[in-house]
Amino acid sequence: MCQKEPRKRSRSSTRRLRYVRCVSFFMLGFFSSTITFLITFYATSNALSNIISSIFFSNSYNSELQVPLSPRDAIKNYQPRDFLGKRKSINYDYHLRYNDFNYRKPETLTYKSRTYSNNTEILFRFPKTTAITALLLIFHSCKHSAYEWFHTPERQRIIGAALDLGYACLVFQSTDKITKCWSNDVDLYQNKDIQMVLKGLEEFYKEYPQLVSVPRYTFGVSSGGIFSSILAINQQYRIQGQIIFISIILPEILYTYVKAQNYPPTVWIHMLRDVEFASETRIKASKQIFMEQNIPCNNFPIEPLQVKPTIFSERVPTIDSETSYFLYYLLLRNQWLNTHTYLLYNPRRKFAWQDFLFPQIEQNHTRARIFKSINDHKNEISEFLNTIYGEHEISYERSSEALNWFKELFTSSVKKT
């Protein structure tokens, strides 16, 4: 009996040792697997990947990877911004109603046309529901025409707002028949477009002499905005104020005439995604020069549009709600909207939208009517996508506010005199 007892103890010790080893290997494997899983999981998370990197990589390596975002990258994932008057402007534009024409029936915005002796054609519309208190001279952008101001929704709404405020609208066509841009020659006598507009006004006033005494304002878009900044220095038919839309004052004009306090009040309407041409920074610098010279000025920023299912039918009256919903669905399905439903990509720089919005062949015959509607509105959709993106395109937003600002400014100046 005494000889068998050591064997039992030996076997018991062996079992305990094996048990401890098994438990140790299991715990080590479990711990290792857990750590591997957590590192893999967290490393794939954008929010925590930087934490993992800071633990496993040196600071010098991280600093080499941290490249600042370019302005274009920063505006790609645009987020709503707050700015002075934003809430008021949203309510103002949303509740804007037109008394002079029916916005939902674009054909109700009728107009007249005159071609004068110097072959200058002016398209114009006088207010029908209110007295004429001012003239608004309108200059289109490159590649566009005067006729579009009476036949495209965003431009019609600008004219509609002007008419309700008492502006008689005169739309001019540039002399360049190829690019349709306006001349930026500062020499008024050498500038063909300046001479054309002045001669056109002279002929217009012969037909409507009662309008010579009312104040004149301008509304210039892009190339037309630069042209407006040049026209503003003419002394034959002085300009009381100008709206420069997605554009700038020609630098030579800004640093010569504005600094000499010989320039009319100016309003800029600009898009917040524009970081190159009519950028917020550039406009603020121009405003500073105006303020130093005590020349009244203002600016009205426009945000990109958040895309919702009804946006196309709301802004393009001839597009029905079903087509609008489908266009929204296509943008969403093809990942063209960010988390705030702003367009991710500039339609002028990335063209994939043409493939999924305007397919060559549609196999689904149940959507034939929708695709016919899309095909019929290709031009309107293409331009409106640029408006939605909000970098450099026509938009009716803020125009009524800007026009009303001039009306109030003129009224206050008359009271002072």
The CATH number for 194's domain is 3.40.50.1820
Whole-number pLDDT of residue 48 = 37
For residues 34 and 120, membership in a common domain is answered with no
Is residue 72 a part of any domain in this protein?
Answer: no
Is residue 77 a part of any domain in this protein?
Answer: no
Whole-number pLDDT of residue 85 = 85
Is residue 220 a part of any domain in this protein?
Answer: yes
Mean pLDDT of 48-55: 35
Average pLDDT, the chain: 86
For residues 119 and 250, membership in a common domain is answered with yes
Whole-number pLDDT of residue 140 = 99
Whole-number pLDDT of residue 28 = 55
The mean-pLDDT minimum among 104-113, 226-235, 305-314 falls in 104-113
Mean pLDDT of 124-149: 98
pLDDT beyond 90 at 108: yes
Q: Between 174 and 261, name the one with better pLDDT.
A: 174
Whole-number pLDDT of residue 69 = 46
Tell me how far apart the alpha carbons of residues 150 and 144 are, in angstroms, rounded to a whole number: 12
For residues 32 and 101, membership in a common domain is answered with no
Q: What is the pLDDT of residues 265-314, one digit of tens each?
A: 999 999 999 999 999 999 999 999 999 999 999 999 999 999 999 999 99
The mean-pLDDT minimum among 29-38, 63-72, 110-119 falls in 63-72
Is residue 417 a part of any domain in this protein?
Answer: no
For residues 109 and 238, membership in a common domain is answered with yes
Whole-number pLDDT of residue 92 = 81
The model's pTM is 0.82
pLDDT beyond 50 at 52: no
For residues 96 and 49, membership in a common domain is answered with no
For residues 289 and 317, membership in a common domain is answered with no
CB atoms within 10 A of CB 233: 20
Domain count for the chain: 3
Domain span at 63: 13-67
- Choosing from 270, 304, 338, the residue where a domain stops is 304
pLDDT beyond 50 at 63: no
Q: Between 417 and 9, name the one with better pLDDT.
A: 417
Is residue 75 a part of any domain in this protein?
Answer: no
The mean-pLDDT minimum among 17-26, 146-155, 196-205, 257-266 falls in 17-26
| Bridge partner list, 136 | 169, 217
Q: Between 76 and 160, name the one with better pLDDT.
A: 160
The mean-pLDDT minimum among 8-12, 176-180, 285-289, 334-338 falls in 8-12
For residues 300 and 172, membership in a common domain is answered with yes
For residues 192 and 331, membership in a common domain is answered with no
Whole-number pLDDT of residue 41 = 37
Q: Between 365 and 406, name the one with better pLDDT.
A: 406
**Cβ distance 174 to 180 under 8 Å?**
yes
For residues 148 and 294, membership in a common domain is answered with yes
Q: What is the pLDDT of residues 18-50, one digit of tens each?
A: 665 665 655 655 554 444 444 333 333 333 333
For residues 102 and 235, membership in a common domain is answered with yes
Is residue 74 a part of any domain in this protein?
Answer: no
Q: What is the largest CA-CA distance in the chain?
A: 138
Question: Over pLDDT 70: what percentage of the chain?
Answer: 81
- Choosing from 252, 276, 304, the residue where a domain stops is 304
pLDDT beyond 60 at 383: yes
Whole-number pLDDT of residue 61 = 28
Q: Between 92 and 370, name the one with better pLDDT.
A: 370
**Cβ distance 126 to 132 under 8 Å?**
yes
pLDDT beyond 80 at 364: no
Q: Between 170 and 35, name the one with better pLDDT.
A: 170
For residues 293 and 334, membership in a common domain is answered with no
Is residue 168 a part of any domain in this protein?
Answer: yes
pLDDT band at 416 (very low <50, low <70, confident <90, very high): confident
Whole-number pLDDT of residue 55 = 35
SS (H, E, C) the chain: CCCCHHHHHHHHHHHHHHHHHHHHHHHHHHHHHHHHHHHHHHHCCHHHHHHHHHHHCCHHHHHHHCCCCCHHHHHHCCCCCCCCCHHHHHHHHHCCCCCCCCCCCHHHCCCEEEECCCCCEEEEECCCCCCCCEEEEEECCCCCCHHHHHCCHHHHHHHHHHHHCCEEEEEECCCCCCCCCCCCCCCCCCCHHHHHHHHHHHHHHHHCHHHCCCCEEEEEECHHHHHHHHHCCCCCCCCCEEEEECCCCCHHHHHHHHCCCCCCCEEEEEECCCCCCCCHHHHHHHHHHHHHCCCCEEEEEECCCCCCCCHHHHHCCCCCHHHHHHHHHHHHHCCCECCCCCECCCCCCCCHHHHHHCCCCCCCHHHHHHHHHHHHCHHHHHHHHHHHHCCCCCCCCCHHHHHHHHHHHHHHHHHHC
Most confident of 21-30, 110-119, 211-220, 406-415: 211-220
Whole-number pLDDT of residue 29 = 55
For residues 276 and 317, membership in a common domain is answered with no
Whole-number pLDDT of residue 323 = 97
Is residue 395 a part of any domain in this protein?
Answer: no
